[in-house]
Structure 1
Amino acid sequence: MSGEPPVVRRLDQLPAYLISPNDTVRLAELAGPKQGSGTSVFLEIWEPGGAQPLNSHPDSAEIFIVLKGQATAHSDEHELTLTAGDVLVLQPGSEHRILNTSETDKLYTITVMADDGGFAKLVTDGTPTALTPDEIDTLMQR
């Protein structure tokens, strides 16, 4: 037994981050090494038409659970359409990116990095931003 208390965080109190200042995807760390987990979990929100740069995680599978919106996922030579309710599992080492295909609506995912490998630090060392009241209302169904 660790004796450590469980960690509870409130979505409406979490900061979000841009990995690079001009990114169109914001990430809010839900759980990771700072909370005692070797797996990191994020809320990711893509602006309409937004995308991440092509990226790869050599030692970790990355899982995206699409909560709301539509997207195209590119992984190596594969291209897939994603909609709410889809779960995308990207294999370690795949070169990938996700594009929000809507020009008017945001894309929301819960993203799990099976082996954090420093990813949470990369995110939280980025540019702080905030989740908007509309985003929080959408996620908390207020």
Structure 2
Amino acid sequence: MVNIPGLVAGNFEDCPVHKISATDTNKFLLLCDRKQVPFTSFVEIFEVGGRTPSNEHVEAYEYFYVLKGEGLAKVGSEYEMPIRQGSFIIIPPGNHHDIINTGSSRLYCLTTMIPDEKFSDMIKAGPVAELDDEDLAVLKAMIPSKQ
């Protein structure tokens, strides 16, 4: 048995999925949280026309990397950036921001917040959600096949 303090490993299929509230248009596949490491990381899945609830963080940097889909990243009233597969944006603390799905299919972002600012607690306190067949197909397609 290997004992490596702080090591976190797993498979997305074993991770919890939640929404922050039942009416939200995005859900979170929680990969790790502040009880494991000093940050949180999740796959955020936006329905067509969906968006993050407008928010800002006091201390946290928030990193979004687009895995699939397209949308718009807005930071304050000064900055807008179209996003698509391969796009990333790092939003510094104290900046109001929105991620909006402007595409014709779901938007999938790998998102990390450092530090967590108890955001993972808010996710876990929300209603349980599920990955459907479309989500599973997208996430499994990102796993390299064994040759």
Instruction: Check the 8 A contact 1:56/1:93 in 2, yes or no.
Output: yes
Instruction: Check the 8 A contact 1:48/1:106 in 2, yes or no.
Output: yes
Q: Which residue of 2 aligns with 1:24?
A: 25
- Tell me how far 1:88 sits from its aligned partner: 0.5
Between the aligned partners of 1:25 and 1:47, the Cα distance in structure 2 is 6
TM-score, normalised via structure 2 length: 0.88
Between the aligned partners of 2:52 and 2:122, the Cα distance in structure 1 is 14
Q: Indicate yes or no: 2:140 matched with 1:140.
A: yes
Matching residue's letter, 1:100: N
Instruction: Mark the runs of 5 or more structure 2 residues left unpaired by the alignment.
Output: none
- Tell me how far 1:7 sits from its aligned partner: 2.8
Q: Which residue of 1 aligns with 2:50?
A: 50
Q: Which residue of 2 aligns with 1:127?
A: 127
Q: Secondary structure at the match of 2:129?
A: strand
Instruction: Check the 8 A contact 1:14/1:28 in 2, yes or no.
Output: yes
Between the aligned partners of 2:57 and 2:138, the Cα distance in structure 1 is 30
Instruction: Mark the runs of 5 or more structure 1 residues left unpaired by the alignment.
Output: none
1:86-110 Cα deviation digits (max 9, x unpaired): 11110101001111001x3000000
Q: Which runs of 4+ in 1 moved over 4 A?
A: none
Cα RMSD, aligned residues only: 1.6
Q: Secondary structure at the match of 1:131?
A: coil
Q: Which residue of 2 aligns with 1:75?
A: 75
Between the aligned partners of 1:79 and 1:52, the Cα distance in structure 2 is 15
Between the aligned partners of 1:60 and 1:30, the Cα distance in structure 2 is 18
- Tell me how far 1:9 sits from its aligned partner: 2.1
Instruction: Check the 8 A contact 2:43/2:110 in 1, yes or no.
Output: yes
1:68-121 Cα deviation digits (max 9, x unpaired): 01011111121111111011110101001111001x300000000010010000
Q: Which residue of 1 aligns with 2:111?
A: 111
Higher strand share: 1
Q: Secondary structure at the match of 2:128?
A: strand
